[in-house]
């Protein structure tokens, strides 16, 4: 997908529109390799501003990606739907076309959530014993710091304390 810069320069202010699908297999996002499922649907519009010698570009992307849950690493399918508006300077572009692929990729990256979750209340993996808390309790050797926030535990703690004081 691309815009013809000569045609745009010849008609300042006129809005050009393209729509189509772009095949992206993976996106690199902060070191995470994000797998893209199926084509990314993109709609773009642009017009040339003669006085500024710039193109105002709007790109709207929609696609599906696979992520790892930020708490338990389970596979998460995320729907990306993102619109971005940018200013592009044709003088900085080699050739006569404004290629949209880099903007489509950037739009997909911008649309990714920073902390994907398999479900809103994902319990995650215990950093102390490695148990997946969505499926299993802490392992017996878990060294997590114990807090007495659980009322049942605080009752137990009080009983133990009393027992200790007796002896
Ligand atoms: Zn999860
Ligand atoms: Zn644990």
Give the Å distance between the CA of 78 and the centre of ligand 1.
Answer: 13
Compute the distance between CA of residue 2 and CA of residue 142 in angstroms, rounded to an integer.
56
Ligand that lies nearest to the alpha carbon of residue 71, given by its number in the listed order: 1
The predicted model scores a pTM of 0.76
For residue 157, the SS3 value is helix
Calpha distance 99→146 (Å, rounded): 56
- If you measure from the C-alpha of residue 66 to the centroid of ligand 2, how many angstroms do you get, rounded to a whole number? 27
Spans of all domains in the chain: 2-111, 124-167
Strand runs labelled E in 52-167: 54-68, 75-88, 97-99
Let me know: does 107 contact 84? Beta carbons within 8 Å: yes
State the ligand closest to the CA atom of 144: 2
Per-10-residue mean pLDDT of the chain, 167 residues long, equals: 94 96 90 90 96 95 94 93 94 89 94 92 94 94 77 66 67
Give pLDDT, residue 40.
Answer: 96
Cα(163) to ligand 2 centroid in Å equals 27
CB atoms near residue 3 (< 10 Å): 24
pLDDT of residue 151: 62
- pLDDT of 148 reads 58
């Amino acid at each position: 997908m691309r815009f013809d810069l000569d045609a745009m320069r010849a008609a300042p202010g006129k809005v050009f529109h393209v729509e189509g699908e772009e095949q992206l297999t993976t996106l690199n996002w902060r070191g995470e390799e994000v797998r893209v499922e199926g084509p990314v649907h993109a709609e773009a519009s642009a017009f040339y501003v003669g006085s500024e010698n710039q193109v105002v570009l709007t790109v709207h992307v929609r696609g599906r990606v696979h992520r790892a849950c930020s708490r338990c690493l389970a596979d998460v399918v995320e729907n990306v739907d993102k619109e971005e508006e940018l200013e592009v300077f044709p003088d900085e572009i080699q050739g006569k076309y404004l290629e949209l692929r880099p903007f489509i990729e950037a739009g997909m990256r911008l649309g990714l959530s920073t902390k994907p979750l398999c479900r809103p209340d994902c319990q995650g993996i215990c950093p102390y014993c490695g148990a997946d808390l969505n499926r299993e309790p802490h392992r017996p050797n878990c060294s997590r710091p114990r807090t007495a926030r659980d009322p049942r535990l605080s009752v137990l703690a009080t009983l133990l304390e009393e027992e200790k004081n007796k002896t």
